[in-house]
Structure 1
Amino acid sequence: MAEREVESVIEAIRDAVPRLRANGQEAEDKRWLPEENIALLEKAGVFRAATPRRFGGLDLSLPEQADVLREISRGCGSTGWVCMVWMSSAGLATLFPDAAQDEVFAGTSVRISGGFTPSGTLTRTEGGYLLNGTWRFNTGCRGADWNIAAAILQEADGSHSEAVAILPMDQFSIADDWNTSAAAATGSSSTTAKDVFVPEHRVISYESAILNNTPGRTAPVTPGRGYRLFSYIMAVCAGTYVGLAEGALELFRERVPGRGITYTSYEDQSSHPLTQIQVATAHNKIAAARALLDDQTAMLQRHADAGGEPSEEEKAHVRGKTSFAIDLCREAVDILYSAGGASVIQRNVPLQRFFRDARGLALHGLLLTSTNLEVQGRVLLGHDPETPFL
């Protein structure tokens, strides 16, 4: 049954890819996803993908979630990125106590935005906390039902710690401050909370989120879904990126045949040896990235199925290998864009949007190749990774 469910979701997304591509310029112009994109993905079951089965969700495995995100991103990188945030945040919501999960997943199909930068404060009050702060780059906030906010929890004795809260999106104000040259359609605006009350059961420690050991969860994590937080996030980010690159390659291959090369005798660019080398190079970089992704998601799933978790070394490899896969995809899209000719800069040519999204999203702090390769390299050379984000 589960295999048929994921096949049905992916088939529905595949049917929607032409519409996602056709809506790309509209999405960029309005700096948010068209309602048609959200409706098509809702109908496909995308927003039930990470909902636990006990709440009526699909509870897809990590490799299956990555495949779903790949397919969405083939149509539109920004749409894929938003869905990645909503999906991974739903996964994070399963780390909260049962009482919070009962509220969040009451509707089965759920869209959750949020981030991990603790740019707010939580102060204790009767029955819970007061949340204040502003969170930038809050992808998907304009269409989310719930929002996750990392904050500094301030104790009465002056001590403090990092914590994560989850609360309805309508308790935040959303600024109209997302105006970017890349990932423009993600609507990653700043969100603000002012003295918002958060019940105690909707706040967990940052450490509990990382270690997956939150108290108050009498319903156990679904067997085979106990992923470590940052390994999980890196994997779904890479899945989104591979799909974006695959979409760019498809667009390039559709565009090239019959196009002449100006100031040369070539009447069909596809017959030029350099173009042939470029498309083969891009194809192989994407294939290598896909192989790295599949290898890492399979490893993480094996540990989850066995009820264990990866070693520190394996988690460091997830950081390095998935970021390297993302960089391979960025390089592939760069090649395709550079080979696209001068007319590729026109806004009505979808390839230029894939190029800008690929470039912009690669700047995300968690995905930087240099940072992640350093973590992996430290472990390879016998040193401590020196980061809790594994």
Structure 2
Amino acid sequence: MTMTAVGHDETSAVPAREEFVARAAALVPLLRQHAAETEERRRLSDVSLAVITEAGFARLCVPVENGGYGQGIGTLAEVTAELGRGCASTAWVVGVNGQIAVTPKSPALNSFLYGERPDSWLCGSLNPTAGRVEPVDGGVRLTGRWGYASGCTHARWAMVLATGTVEEGGPTVHGLAVPMSDLTIDEDWRVVGMRGSGSHTIVASDVFVPAERIITSKGPRTAEQVILSGIGGSAMMAGPLLGATHGALDIVHQTLAAKKKIVYSRYPSAPEAVVTQLWLAEATQHLDTARLHTRRATDAIDGAVASGSAMSLVERARARMDVSTAVENCRQAMSRLLDIHGASGFAEANPLQRAWRDLEAAGRHGFLNTQLAREAYGRALIGLHEPIATNV
């Protein structure tokens, strides 16, 4: 097992990826037990939040020098794929937090965010038009409303984007780290899927943000920034959706183990029906395909980041297409699993319908637009170098 020193304590170590995945798998029964509460509250249950924090998932992607585990998108996706078997909303929050942590920031800003508490949870928004900044002595004044801030109800910090004009003139996009104590939450997250992610709107009203907590976009982005702020975000989202689908497969296996009869048929039990066997094979193959495409995308991303090299447009578009292919296969798998389980899977008391709703809602996130991914990949293969998808 590969071990790496954490922070300044040489006696501490970072476990290998397999250990983090095992930790996540061990939490599945407990997260499943509290999934209904998480959904009802539209935020993580206190128990779920406590156990994922204790397992080290808040600091999973936090830089090692700041007391974290320094993991990349691949580990994040595999961890959230396990957590999602128990609760997709919990997995989504872990994924968003990890994506913010892994995105390149200055050492000074990382110290602000994690220096005292590497287990701090973060939320954020990628919409630069949702906020405005006005320069003042020592920083900026920030005003705006940012929707879909997953995990904001328990976050310590928010990372948001805003537009404004710097002293030299010209519009710029700013990334700002704002303590949640300076913001308010408009609890408007009322949706049919991923309810427990608590993706409410966060609001800033003339908040002062000092210069040391501002990232100003000037000039071209680094290769690492291009990768992690674009396709890295899409790849992160695949994990919770894989988890929701795998969780549905778990439920179907439990149902089949009971050997109930298929109504209106002469089969003694559902497992003996050829159609059940065919559908189960098809669903499992779709899930396996989704995992393989996700792994190829995350391996490409992590490999480029580790080597410090850029990914070509074709490589980035292929990774984006891989993620979309994974999402589509998850949907196809879920459809077959619902066919096997039958109409009772849509009962409110049945967790299968929650997994279905979570997948269908999150799978339509803008970062996962499947047709846009196809067009982007096709254009790249043809040699049209202006990407039609802005997150490629």
Q: TM-score, normalised by structure 1?
A: 0.91
For residues 207 and 243 of structure 1, what CA distance do their matches in structure 2 show?
A: 38
Letter in 1 for 2:255: R
What is the Cα deviation at residue 255 of structure 1?
A: 1.4
Match of 1:293 in 2: 294
Task: Return closer, same or farther for 1:110/1:207 CA change in 2, 3 Å cut-off.
Answer: farther
For residues 387 and 254 of structure 1, what CA distance do their matches in structure 2 show?
A: 41
What is the Cα deviation at residue 355 of structure 1?
A: 0.3
Match of 1:221 in 2: none
Match of 1:229 in 2: 229
What is the Cα deviation at residue 28 of structure 1?
A: 1.1
Match of 2:35 in 1: 24
User: Does 1:62 find its partner at 2:73?
Assistant: yes
For residues 81 and 48 of structure 2, what CA distance do their matches in structure 1 show?
A: 15
Large movers: runs of 4+ above 6 Å? none
For residues 33 and 207 of structure 1, what CA distance do their matches in structure 2 show?
A: 37
Match of 1:4 in 2: 15
Match of 2:378 in 1: 377
Letter in 1 for 2:233: I
Letter in 2 for 1:300: I
User: Does 1:345 find its partner at 2:346?
Assistant: yes
- Contact residue 228 and residue 309 of structure 1 kept, 8 A: no
User: Does 1:102 find its partner at 2:102?
Assistant: no
Deviations 1:9-32, CA, capped at 9 Å, x for gaps: 322221210011111111111111
- Matched-pair identity in %: 28
Match of 2:322 in 1: 321
Letter in 2 for 1:389: N
For residues 218 and 391 of structure 2, what CA distance do their matches in structure 1 show?
A: 10
Match of 1:40 in 2: 51
- Contact residue 210 and residue 229 of structure 1 kept, 8 A: no
- Contact residue 152 and residue 163 of structure 1 kept, 8 A: yes
Q: Paired residue for 2:153, among 139, 142, 146?
A: 142
For residues 369 and 344 of structure 1, what CA distance do their matches in structure 2 show?
A: 27
Q: Secondary structure at the match of 1:136?
A: strand
Q: Secondary structure at the match of 1:10?
A: helix
- Contact residue 151 and residue 164 of structure 1 kept, 8 A: yes
- Contact residue 102 and residue 228 of structure 2 kept, 8 A: no
- Contact residue 210 and residue 228 of structure 1 kept, 8 A: no
Match of 1:223 in 2: none
- Contact residue 316 and residue 375 of structure 1 kept, 8 A: yes
Deviations 1:158-186, CA, capped at 9 Å, x for gaps: 74222221111121101121121111111
Match of 1:114 in 2: 124
For residues 207 and 386 of structure 1, what CA distance do their matches in structure 2 show?
A: 22
Letter in 2 for 1:82: V
Deviations 1:339-380, CA, capped at 9 Å, x for gaps: 321211122211110000000001111111011111111111
What is the Cα deviation at residue 71 of structure 1?
A: 1.2
Deviations 1:245-298, CA, capped at 9 Å, x for gaps: 112111111112322222222342121111211111111111111111111222
- Contact residue 142 and residue 208 of structure 2 kept, 8 A: yes
For residues 302 and 128 of structure 1, what CA distance do their matches in structure 2 show?
A: 36
For residues 64 and 375 of structure 1, what CA distance do their matches in structure 2 show?
A: 26
How many correspondences in the alignment?
377
Q: Secondary structure at the match of 1:256?
A: helix
Q: Paired residue for 1:85, among 86, 96, 104?
A: 96
Match of 1:249 in 2: 249
Q: Secondary structure at the match of 2:40?
A: helix
For residues 70 and 246 of structure 1, what CA distance do their matches in structure 2 show?
A: 8
Tell me which moved more, 167-176 or 3-12. 3-12
Q: Secondary structure at the match of 1:252?
A: helix
Match of 2:203 in 1: 192
Letter in 2 for 1:289: A
Match of 1:219 in 2: none
